Structure 1
Amino acid sequence: MKEFKYIVLLIILCGLMITRSQAQVTLSSEDCRRLVVENNKDLKEAELRIKEAEANMKIAKKAYLPSVEASATGIYSPNLELVLGPEMMTNNLSMFATDVMMSQPIYAGGKIKAINAQAKIGQEMAGQSYELTHAEILLLADQAYWNLAAAKEAVGLSDNYLTMLTEMEDQMNAMYEVGLAPASEKLKVGVQKNQAEINLVKAKNGVEIATAYLNQLLGQELETEIILSDALIDDDHNRVNVNGGLEKALNNRNELKLAENQILLAEYDRKIARADYLPEAGVTAGYMYAYADKIGENIDPIGLVGGRVSIPVFHFGERKQKEQLAKIKKEKAQNDYSKTEDYVTLEIKQISLELEENYQQVLMSIKNVGQATESLEETKVSFDAQLNTTADVLNAQAEWQKAHFDLIIALRDYELKKTSWEKAIGALTNHNID
């Protein structure tokens, strides 16, 4: 029986190990964008706003159609003394009336047309608001992806640096044993190695944090291992062409489209305010039927056709004030559009300069890596020939590590700045990840 329990426990443990080993995903930057978009709750809310706008559009269209209403009324009075005619009297009365009426607006001062136009604009704005949120989410996805890529690169770099110091420590121990180096020189390497071990732990913690954050965006378990299929590379063909960026931004940015639609909404508000003080006309048609007991024969249904015209006469200047208010709203919307246009222009200028700066930083970092590597190799040769000190080698190794780390950061920043540029020119649209 005990053997059976051990077997069951072993099976459970194996199952847990298999489950844990399966808790990993391989992810490209495009996959990351797509999955983060699918999991994002803000985008789901934006989708609901689009559906809401579509529903409002359908409701607004109904104003063009006739409305049909039916009503019925029944009356019973048990204690009513009513003389119905000579020699005819009753102390109770039952009555019933019903009608079905159809109303069709003919003219409403342009209000119905304006309301429908506003509903259509509202639908467009819901889509533009979605695109804005979508662009923000893509930027967020790229930041999480490339931060994790940089963190993984930092771990590899820290591990290589620690290996380098371990080899140096072994060399110094051997030299100390044969009396070629004092204990102080050996201790210098030991101190540097201890710090490198701490930095390696910090780098691994950075990967854990970056992985957990990306997993949260992806809607996965925070401990899921993520293998990145895209890496930070120093490719000269990766340079972004910023020519025509401002023109693209002015044509594509949804902030400008939203601001422009706000102007249109304000204009239609003015038309609606004006329509409230214009004549309105409509027609009605229907049938009516009434019945009362003890009065005589039932009345046949009666067909009704009618028309209605309403003409505002005097409202103490209310119309003028409402139109003035609508005009002010439009002027505010126009001012907001101008401010947004200025902001977009400045943003394009700033990011284009930062892109070039980041690109030059990548080139300089690549150059520094080459020089630091060459310097380290020469310093090691000189140290073996007893022309350099232990401190010289340690400094050269530290410069080698710093140069590589600076390159990692420069490549990450350039990738993120490219995404910021795409967002700035309005290129991060929904079809980009379909």
Structure 2
Amino acid sequence: MKRIFTFGFLLLALGQGAAEAQQLLSLDSCRAMALRNNKQMGVQQLKQDIAANLRKSARTKYLPHVSAIGSYQFTSEEISILNNEQKGKLSNLGTNLTGSLSGLGNTLQTTLGQMGTMLGQLGVPAEAFQQMAGQLQQNMQQTSTNVAGLLDSEGQKIVDAFRTDTRHIFAGSVLVTQPIFMGGGIVALNKLADINEEFANNSVAARRQGILYSTDQAYWQVVSLKHKKKLAESYLELIKKFDTDVQRMIEEGVATRSEGLSVSVKVNEAEMTLQKVDDGLVLSKMLLCQMIGMPMNEEITLADEDVEDLAVVTLHPQLNVEQAVENRAELKMLDNVVDMSKQATNILKAANLPQVALMGGYALSNPNVLNGFEKKFGGFWNVGVLVRVPIWNWGDVAYKVRAAKGATAIAALERDEAREKIELQVNQNTFKVDEANKRLVMAQTGIERANENLRTANLGFKEGVIAPTVVMEAQTAWLQAQSQLIDAQIAVKLSQVDLQKALGTLY
């Protein structure tokens, strides 16, 4: 008893593990996984972030900007305020002046000699006068030498004071710029950034709809092939059973060998059909797994695989072109392109208008000339208004504006063409939905007739009044009717998805 319980528990655990190994996925879960896995969706979201940052950057153009500048310059020669001749004269100022006074000393010496002769005639002792004159001349020479040295020293100081030593120049400034009027360029730039962000959002919406559309196509393709695989298995089982009955009839001599071979051929065809459907199902599941970000060999089960009635006939869809024009992200993107082209034209026009900016800051340098020429840092505050008025540019801006207007016209034409194509798309897909509904009704009616035909053929075959070939024809008609029903059901689903995408309501 204990062994039986352990064995039952093991079977239960294995069954639970197998159930967990095959994941059950609905259409909504496949859509969500595809959106998370798609790389292009991630690219579009990054572009959305880029557009938001560009919009924030454009807003800063309204605000004052502060910049700091620093520089150092070394030159091989310094700036000289005095030339070499002026430097030489100032450095030898006392010596040159003493040379000019030497003539005055000789004149004074001659005069003193004449005075000594005159005083000697008057009875003044010559020795005393000569002694006095010598002392006076000695004092004058000493004074002249002292004055010459002093003047030379002061002259050299003047030369040194005028030396700039500008081989090492340090400079720096802090500048604040506040735009006042830029010809409307900043306003146009901000509008352009806003439109660019809206374009990025619309691009994300368009990419999202494209991913959902592809996911739906892959999902319903797998469902269709899964149902056709079941149909192929049922048909193979049916034709095998019929082949067994025919072989018994051959053994009993009721049926011919030719009829048996015909049934065997049908069995081979059914096996090949099942193999093709199975291969197609494997490949379709691989595609779906790749789209939703799962391993391609992952065993998955879709929620609609075992649903008998995949689609029901819906009411006749209402033609609503205005809704498509309002919702289609692609058309919104083309509107954004037209608006961005207009704002780009406004930015170009701003280059031909006056521009006014308020400027202020602080500048310093070493050496500086704020208090004479000083070898130290000195600076000053400044404020001013900068006005730029374009006068002549050989029509450069005008040509660019014309080119931009041409680009705007092209974008408008492309938008109008896209609107016409979207209108055609909506009409076509509305017609396809209506047509798919009619096909579904016809397929359902065909199923009833095919089932009745097969039932009658089987009954007649059992009674021996109908040949095996007639039964095979009924089985083939039943198979085609079942296949057409599956195709009609999937066509209804896909036509609805197509219409939603055309209307821009695929979310």
TM-score (norm 1): 0.89
2:304 is equivalent to residue 226 of structure 1: no
Instruction: Kindly report which structure 2 residues correspond to 1:354-369, keeping only aligned pairs within 5 A, or say none.
Output: 354-369=432-447
Distance in 1 (alpha carbons) for counterparts of 2:347 and 2:75: 48
Amino acid at match of 1:193: V
The corresponding residue for 1:152 is: 226
Task: Select the residue among 137, 140, 160 that pairs with 1:88.
Answer: 160
**Aligned with 2:328 (options 231, 250, 253):** 253
Query: Moved runs in structure 1, 4+ residues, more than 6 A?
Result: 17-21
1:118 aligns with 2:196: no
2:39 and 2:313 map into 1 onto residues whose CA distance is 33
- For the 8 Å contact 1:106–1:283, the answer to whether it is kept is yes
User: Do the aligned residues in 2 keep the contact of 1:105 with 1:281 (CA within 8 Å)?
Assistant: yes
In the other structure, the counterpart of 1:5 is: none
Amino acid at match of 1:53: A
Structure 1 pair 56–233 and aligned structure 2 pair: CA distance change class (3 A): farther
Tell me the residue number matched to 1:191: 265
Report the counterpart of residue 431 of structure 2 in structure 1: 353
**TM-superposed deviation, 1:172:** 1.4
Which stretch shows the higher mean deviation, 388-397 or 215-224?
215-224
TM-superposed CA distance for 1:402, in Å, is: 0.7
Larger radius of gyration: 2
- Tell me what 1:208 maps to: 282
Q: Is the 8 A contact 1:246 1:425 kept in 2?
A: yes
Q: Distance in 2 between matches of 1:73 and 1:367?
A: 91
Distance 1:399 1:331, change over 3 A: same
Where do 1:105-144 residues align within 5 Å?
105-144=179-218
Between stretches 225-234 and 307-316, larger displacement belongs to 225-234
For 1:388 and 1:241, the matched residues in 2 are separated by 44
Task: Indicate how the Cα distance of structure 1 residues 264 and 360 shifts in structure 2: closer, same or farther if over 3 A, else same.
Answer: same
CA shift, 1:320, in A, is: 2.9
TM-score calculated relative to the size of structure 2: 0.77
How many residue pairs match? The answer is 414
Distance apart, 1:242 and its partner CA: 2.2
Q: Which whole-Å CA distance do the structure 2 matches of 1:415 and 1:98 have between them?
A: 73
- Once residues 383 and 78 of structure 1 are traced to their aligned partners in structure 2, the CA distance between those partners, rounded to angstroms, is 118
Residue of structure 2 equivalent to 1:166 = 240
In structure 2, the CA distance between the partners of 1:220 and 1:18, relative to structure 1 (3 Å rule), is: farther
Q: Name the CA distance, whole Å, in 1 between partners of 2:272 and 2:365.
A: 95
Q: 2:47 aligns with which of 28, 44, 49?
A: 49
Q: Is the 8 A contact 2:318 2:430 kept in 1?
A: no
**C-alpha spacing 1:128/1:91, structure 2 compared with 1 (3 Å):** closer
Q: 1:177 to 1:79 in 2, by over 3 A?
A: same
Structure 1: tracts of 5 or more residues without a match: 1-16
Counterpart-to-counterpart distance in 1, 2:44 and 2:22: 30
Alignment equivalent of 2:462, drawn from 358, 367, 384: 384
Partner of residue 337, structure 2: 262
Cα offsets for 1:176-198 (capped at 9, x unmatched): 22222222222221111121111
Picking from 31, 39, 48, the partner of 1:33 is 31
Read off the aligned partner of 1:258 and give its amino acid letter.
M
> 255-264 vs 276-285, which deviates more?
255-264
Amino acid in the other structure paired with 2:414: D
> How far is the alpha carbon of 1:297 from its aligned partner?
6.9
**Residues in 1 aligned to 2:81 and 2:63: alpha-carbon distance in whole angstroms:** 47
Q: After superposition, what is the alpha-carbon deviation per residue over 1:290-311, rounded to whole angstroms, capped at 9, x for unaligned?
A: 2229943746431100111011
| C-alpha displacement of 1:51 | 1.1
- Name the CA distance, whole Å, in 2 between partners of 1:275 and 1:91: 46
Whole-angstrom distance in 2 between the partners of 1:338 and 1:113: 28
Percent identity of paired positions between Structure 1 and Structure 2 = 27
Q: 1:366 Cα shift?
A: 0.9
Offset of residue 252 of structure 1: 0.7
Q: Distance in 1 between matches of 2:447 and 2:340?
A: 57
Write out per-residue CA displacement over residues 405-432 of structure 1, whole angstroms, 9 at most, x where no aligned residue: 111111112111111111100112xxx3
